[in-house]
Amino acid sequence: MIHAIPNHSVTIVGAGLAGCEAAIQLAIAGVPVDLYEMKPKVFSPAHCMEGPAELVCSNSLKSDSPDTAHGLLKSELRALGSAVMRAAHETRVPAGSALAVDRNAFSMKMKMLLAGHSLIRYYSGVEVESIPGGDVIIATGPLTSQSLTIALQQTVGDQDLHFYDALAPIIDAESIEFDKIFEGSRWGKGDPSDYLNCPLSKEEYLQLVLSLRNAEKTPLHGFEKVSYFEGCLPIEVMAERGDDVLAFGPLRPVGLECQGKRPYAVVQLRSENRQRTAFNMVGFQTKLTHSAQKEVFRKIPGLNRVRFLRFGAVHRNMYINAPDVLTDDLALKNFPNVRLAGQITGVEGYVESAAMGLLVGLMVAKRRMGKNFVPPPGDTAMGALYRHIRQSTPRKKYEPMNIHFGLLPQVKAKGKKARRQAALERARSSMLTWLRKRET
C-alpha cells in the first residue's frame, strides 16, 4: 500500500535515473516529494541491486567526448545541476572517452543524494499497482511492472508498442587468461589499460560468427513478438546479418595492435568496477541460452576457462506513444496531473532518461510557482529529445531514440565534421541563452 500522501507533495513512481533526477530537482525547488521504488520487494528481469538508480552495465552512460551528441547532452545536464552527472563523476572508472561508473558505488551515491534532501521521502519495497491521485510523475522505465502497465494501458489504450533490449555477460576477472590478451583502447583514447582485448584471426572470427548463428537461443513466449531495438541488437542477430557485420561493429580492431600487428577482429572487455574484479563483454548482449553462452564464448582466446558472474539476457521493454498521449507538459492528455518521465516516454538510454527526468522536475516546479515552463530550444540536445517526444515528424511507428545529431535541426556547412561542429556551437550558444533567461 502507498503511504498517506500530503496534498502538496508530488508522488514519483520509480527510483531509476529519471525518477531520482526529478525528485532531487523538485526538492531543490522546495517541493516535497514522495518517491516509491518496488525493489527489493519486486525486481524486474534486468535488475538485481536493492538500491535506486541501478545501471545494467558500467558503460551505460556512453561517450563523454565534447564533440559527440552524448557529450553535448552531458554538458547540458551538468549546467543544470544534474544529480546523476554528479554521482557519475564521483564514481567514475577508467573507460577511455566513455563515462563508465562503478555500478554499486553509483547507486549508493544516488541514495545518499536522495537522503540529503529533507523534502524527499523515499519508500523502498513498495510496489505501486495503480496510478495514484494528486500530482504524479511516473518514471518506471521500460520494465514497468505488469500491474502498472495494465493501469497505463487502460488509461492511454493498448498501443502494443514494445521492443526488446539486451544485456551483455559479465565475467570474473580471475578466470581470464591474461597471457592471451592485450590492453588497449580504440582510437588511442584514454588509458591503454581501460580495455582488455581478445584478438581473433580471420579463421577464429568466422568460426565465432558461425557458432553464434548455430547456437541455441532462448525461445520467445507464444505471445511475444520480435522487435529488437536497432541500437542494442543481440550479438547473434548481428552475426546473422552477414559475415562482416561484427568485424565492422563491436569487434572492429581499428586503432589496436597486438605484437605489432592489427588483429582481424577483437572481443573487448571493459571493467565493471574500480577493483577490476569483473569485466563486461562489450557488445555481446545476447539471447543465447546459458549453456550456449558457455560453449560459444569460451572459444574466444583468453576466455577458454571464463566464469560468468552474469549471463547475457534479453528482456521486453515497453514505452508509450508519447506524441499521441502526452501534452506539452509531458502529462497524460486525460489526466493533466500525471506526467511521465524517462525511458517510458520513448527516449532510449540512461543519460537521455535522466535528462527527461530533470526536465519534468523543472516543469512541475515551475507550475507550482504559477509560472509557465519554456523547454530548452530545439537545437540543444535536451530540446531535441523533448521535440522527439512531442513533435516527432509523421512516421509509421514511433520508436525509442537515443540522442544523436540527426535529432538536431540541420546546419548548412560543407562536410560532416563541419556540420557537426556548427551544430555543437549553435547548441552551446542556445543553451547558454536559455539558461540566462531562466535566471531572470
Question: Is 305:173 a contact under the CB 8 Å cutoff?
Answer: no
Torsion angles phi and psi, residue 126, rounded to 5: -120, 110
> DSSP letters of 283-333?
T----B-HHHHHHHHTTSTT-TT--EEE--EEEEEE---HHHHB-TTSEET
CA distance 392 to 401: 11
List beta partners, residue 138: 13, 340
All three cell numbers of 332, joined, read: 497524460
pLDDT of amino acid 24: 98
CA atoms within 13 A on the CB side of 192: 8
Q: Are 185 and 302 in contact (CB under 8 A)?
A: no
How far apart (Å, rounded) are the C-alpha atoms in residues 114 and 436? 27
Is the torsion defined by CA of 391, 392, 393, 394 positive or negative? negative
Closest CA to 185 of 109, 92, 282, 106: 282
User: Distances in Å between the alpha carbon of 111 and those of 56, 126, 359, 407?
Assistant: 17, 16, 20, 33
Q: Locate cell 544534474: which residue?
A: 82
Q: What is the pLDDT of residue 164?
A: 65
SS3 (DSSP) at 120: strand
How much is the pTM? 0.74
Q: Is 300 left (phi over 0), alpha (psi -120 to 50) or beta?
A: beta
DSSP structure string for 330-398: SEETTEEEEEE-GGGGTB-SHHHHHHHHHHHHHHHHHHHTT----PPPTTSHHHHHHHHHHSPPP-SS-
For residues 349 and 403, the answer to whether their CB atoms sit within 8 Å is yes
pLDDT at 410: 81
CA distance 197 to 253: 9
- What's the pLDDT score for residue 276? 84
Q: Is 167 exposed, middle or buried, given 0-12, 13-18 or 19+ CB atoms closer than 10 A?
A: buried
Residue in 433, 421, 432 with CA at minimum distance from that of residue 68: 421
Copy the grid coordinates of residue 45: 528481469
Q: DSSP 3-state assignment of 422?
A: helix
- One-letter amino acid of 108: M
**Strand, helix or coil for residue 164:** strand
DSSP state for residue 98 in the 8-state scheme: B
Q: Can you tell me whether residue 163 is helix, strand or coil?
A: strand
Quote the pLDDT of residue 380.
97
Distance CA 357, CA 105 (A): 21
pLDDT, residue 218, reads 83
- Concatenating the DSSP letter of every residue in 207-260 gives HHHHHHHHSPBPPPPTT----B-GGG--HHHHHHT-TTTTTTTTT--TT--BTT
Q: What is the pLDDT along the chain (440 residues), one digit of tens a residue?
A: 444 444 479 999 999 999 999 999 999 999 999 999 998 888 777 777 888 999 976 667 888 999 999 999 999 999 999 999 999 999 998 888 889 899 999 999 999 999 999 999 999 989 998 899 999 999 998 888 888 888 888 888 765 456 666 778 989 888 999 999 999 887 767 677 778 999 999 999 999 999 999 999 987 654 455 667 677 789 999 999 999 999 999 999 988 888 888 999 999 998 877 778 889 999 999 999 999 999 999 999 999 999 998 888 877 778 888 888 899 999 998 899 999 999 999 888 899 999 999 999 999 999 998 888 999 999 999 999 999 898 755 444 677 788 888 888 888 888 878 888 999 999 999 999 999 988 76
pLDDT of residue 6: 44
Q: Contact, 331 vs 337, CB < 8 A? A: yes
Contacts of residue 381, Cβ cutoff 8 Å, sequence gap at least 6: 69, 72, 73, 76, 355, 403, 408, 427
Q: Which amino acid is at 278?
A: A
